[in-house]
Chain A
């Protein structure tokens, strides 16, 4: 079912649409050839290099920091501790604080205490990176290690040590949602099921770690910050206040970014202190994160524990769920930390008609790195919860998991669908995706295969997940810094087209897909279009890339801009064709007087006239450029069905994925090849989360999964052949009808794999097992249930 790649035909006629075509990415050649420019490729004259002294303790009092020896090392320029910089800088922001939340001031460097392993304690600036690294070993920090707060449940006990004693509590925030009449739904229930579901802490592990270069232009009193980020615009919004320069004196550039997955959706202490010191030392400074630093000091994801109660009817109707959840937020609330569990809460209905939902969240401070958005960000938790629940309901009632799901789904006619949590699902046809996935999986034969395998004593399981997620975040009223998106289109004097997006693609391929959208709308060959992104000096506004928002919102802003240009150009064409704007038609890149198609003007001629400006009609502003802000009326709600068949090795606990079928509906697809890539990558990360990934701190708060030798991520050989399909239910939330697909795989896949593994183990009487299904965990469950060979 893999997508067939269609090359753009050379000299294609404009009428051959690009939208919907599986085209190779224009980004790929530079990436494959190794000639792309990442932060670490930047070399500026006089550039210094920084390295951070980081706490080796999870919780420690810092008695003293001696830097004399390190400063003597030839090539060391300066060393700064918290005492040298903290009072000159603002604190690291959390954009989504919750009412009543208690969080400490998040200073850029540790002060009197270090709160997690990897906490930056001091910064060394030197002529080379090697010298900076050598100097780290010469900085003497006198620590008094203190008992670490590690287990978030124990952290809530009365006698627990406190992560931040000055707060008097380990509770960072509480949040709750209650939709529908929860109490009466539970009264109406025939049975109430209970289950604890755990979402392990995960390390995003972008292949390119973080890094930045800051350069102060003393003559202009302005700063340029190149940083490996998903959000240059949000950094430009947040950073000026922290370092005390005006916003219009700051340019932020995200050059090529080698993976983000939410881990670069933050303003980090390192970016702030490097910016500050570039000004203070009046020299450019580069900092590149090492892998172990990345594992320890870049945000982690997930880490939720939920105790769930599910009200059900005997016929399989799921009436309501309620849960108490604990979220381990780590030592500080980073940019979006408190928002993540709220996304879980609002998505708990999944694609089902629950009458009521309640969730009470307690965010807990521990001596670990902060948790924040990791691909899916709250929605994988919700999908996992409701999809495990559907299987539990089926197994408790002896019903078919297919029928339980179908019974609880809204019909296509019920859209827009109002959920108990207050969302309006924009459009959907869950049954269509569900049925198509079962067709692709050859469902009846798959069941027979399972029967045959089980009769032979094999542990063979089939798992389903029918997910829905929330994308295109999101109307501004729900977003701290606005949820609009900006785009700009310029027809250059030569007729070539420059498209500028306020989103910040970092692997998603929008240099290609936005060019496809623009080429169709303008009626020009795609080769004539360049898409610029990621530089606040060229993309004047933007809310960047996260929450699978870029195509739905950024793409629409581009379309709006093109429509403005076309309208304007009609006036010019009318003057040149001696007609009136109302009579001008635009088709395939040509302007002509209605009924006189043989007398037409193209973009080349019109752009030349617009800029040379000798024959402009009265009042016509020179130039052909327009920009637009798109404010979406609603989010989008992509959905789909994933089906997995697995076999478990009874002797070793090893899980093998035998079949993987996914049908995703992300609305209209601009480029099916990019959609497939996103789905494939997302499923791969889900395979990691389901089978191998877990961030482990020991009881002293030491990080035991600090590098790829100990933190497993899936490799090519772990990925099964995917059978991929799609359905297409356009979104009414934007004129393109697109929904977003960047996170679908990480949301839909984990529960499908989990359900398959637990189905495989079900003949042994196993009802549930927590993620990840590592061999030892599975083997132990088999042993405990008498299933060993």
Chain B
């Protein structure tokens, strides 16, 4: 993590509604260059929504608040523009593509970059053997775990400034978690910053800082151990679970 006092991404008072329901209710969050920032929260608390809003998906445009990228407002920037700025997202359930090979998909992320790793190197980093996977179609013949690892390899190919990883470890066997952690470290070595959404303590433990999201708000930000303790003590039994619309619960 760098000593740069200026955040790469800064969210101030971000509100977002979907289908008439307010999901993000005033998010304040800073992501600093070179850090792994872990985002904790129970299911339904808005973690993926926040990830999509940062990526700029059209259905997840923020209603109000500020979203500053290196100090500049990116509120109106479409997905492609944000990607060109260096933001990318690894989906929790990545899309599959008929007729596209793993090699072709990985290569898309490296377009216009001169210092990219090769598709084989990126695949290998995720524990998938290039000879077995590069020419395979990126379709339903891949298991969920394989597809997720390829998604990580794709992010690695892109070498983004900010990688938003939405539960890269869900559906992955325990033995493969080491590969996930290795990819995270590699991204950091290559100069990326990571916003990591994860339920695995083991994966989240490599974060530099962590935040807890509950009821559409950031409740606490700090060092991962403290935040994890807060999460265990206050959130795991919290009645806010899947009820981000209710305001009548006090947090400790």
Q: Are these two chains actual partners, yes or no?
A: no
B interface residues, Cβ below 8 angstroms from A: none
